[in-house]
């Protein structure tokens, strides 16, 4: 059977049809289910659905759509291509459904213990289609790990040799819990770890030290603020000009000045607050 990130998928696949299984992925925003095409390296989403398409494409479902179409684990679903890439689930074949089939129960709690929520969109006046773990900094260990991966990623601090696997390993042995821990690592301890040595530890230390000063736009992006992608980070950094002005926002509470930036609205400002 095919396997993605350690979760076995149903292999009962024929052209134009697929079998469904729900699996869970985590990211820095604990979002469920996906609102984007499934991608192994995508951040910002908790995947609660994974549909194996016969061409290797990965359709995505919202909780409301799953409920409305009564899509269940193990169902055979008819697929059509929506647009150029992302497939769309038209319906399920009820006749082929097993008698003991079960509906997927969306989690009301994150594994960390916080209740999942649906944010209210002030612009659309509707609740979001996805559930999230409340954004409480690094209190959620699942989100914390993904935030750390984001922090060291290419478009953020871009620390060479500090990839996702290193974050996971250092988290497992409790070397890091917060971003600042990265700059206070014990490299004598690291070089004694399995798979590490004097040279690799020295290389990592050099990479980290070389990134103690980065551009403001990269720093803002590295924080993993929801709705603040790299482009918005560039807009904000251009407006604020330096890190002192950015850090003073939390002291002066003068967030409204960001409304003067073309492309920044209340949604982004609420996230920064």
Task: Report in angstroms the alpha-carbon separations of 131 from 20, 59, 62, 139, 261.
Answer: 20, 18, 10, 18, 30
Comparing 209 with 260, the larger pLDDT belongs to 209
Q: Which pLDDT band, with edges at 50, 70 and 90, does 118 fall under? A: confident
C-beta atoms surrounding 160 within 10 Å: 14
pLDDT value of residue 60: 56
Model-level pTM?
Answer: 0.72
Share of the chain above pLDDT 90, in %: 34
Classify residue 170 as left (phi > 0), alpha (psi -120 to 50) or beta.
Answer: alpha
Q: Distance between CA 206 and CA 201 in Å, rounded? A: 9
- What letter would DSSP give residue 88? E
Question: What confidence tier does 14 reach under pLDDT thresholds 50, 70, 90?
Answer: very low
pLDDT digits (tens, 9 = 90+) for 120-156: 877 788 888 777 887 677 888 888 998 999 999 999 9
How far is it, in rounded angstroms, from Cα 241 to Cα 253?
18
- Retrieve residue 188's tokens: 């004598």
């Amino acid at each position: 059977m095919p396997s993605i990130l350690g979760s076995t998928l149903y292999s009962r696949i024929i052209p134009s049809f697929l079998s469904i299984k729900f699996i869970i992925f985590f990211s820095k925003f604990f979002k469920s289910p996906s609102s984007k095409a499934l991608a192994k390296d995508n951040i910002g989403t908790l995947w609660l659905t994974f549909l194996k398409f016969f061409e290797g494409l990965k359709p995505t479902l919202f909780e409301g759509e799953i409920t409305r179409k009564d899509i269940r684990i193990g169902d055979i679903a008819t697929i059509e291509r929506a647009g150029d890439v992302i497939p769309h689930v038209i319906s399920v074949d009820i006749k082929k459904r097993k008698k003991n089939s079960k509906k997927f129960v969306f989690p009301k709690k994150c594994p960390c213990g916080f209740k999942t929520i649906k944010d209210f969109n002030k612009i659309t006046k509707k609740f979001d289609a996805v559930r999230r773990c409340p954004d409480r900094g690094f209190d959620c260990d699942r989100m914390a790990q993904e935030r750390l991966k984001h922090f060291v990623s290419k478009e953020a601090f871009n620390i060479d040799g500090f990839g996702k696997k290193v974050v996971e390993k250092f988290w497992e042995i409790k070397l890091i819990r917060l971003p600042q821990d990265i700059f206070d690592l014990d490299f004598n301890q690291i070089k004694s770890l399995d798979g590490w040595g004097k040279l690799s530890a020295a290389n990592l230390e050099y990479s980290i030290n070389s990134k103690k000063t980065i551009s403001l736009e990269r720093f803002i992006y590295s924080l993993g603020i929801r709705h603040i992608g790299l482009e918005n980070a560039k807009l904000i950094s251009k407006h604020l000009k330096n890190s002192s002005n950015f850090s003073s926002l939390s002291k002066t509470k003068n967030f409204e000045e960001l409304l003067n930036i073309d492309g920044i609205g209340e949604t982004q400002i609420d996230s920064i607050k």
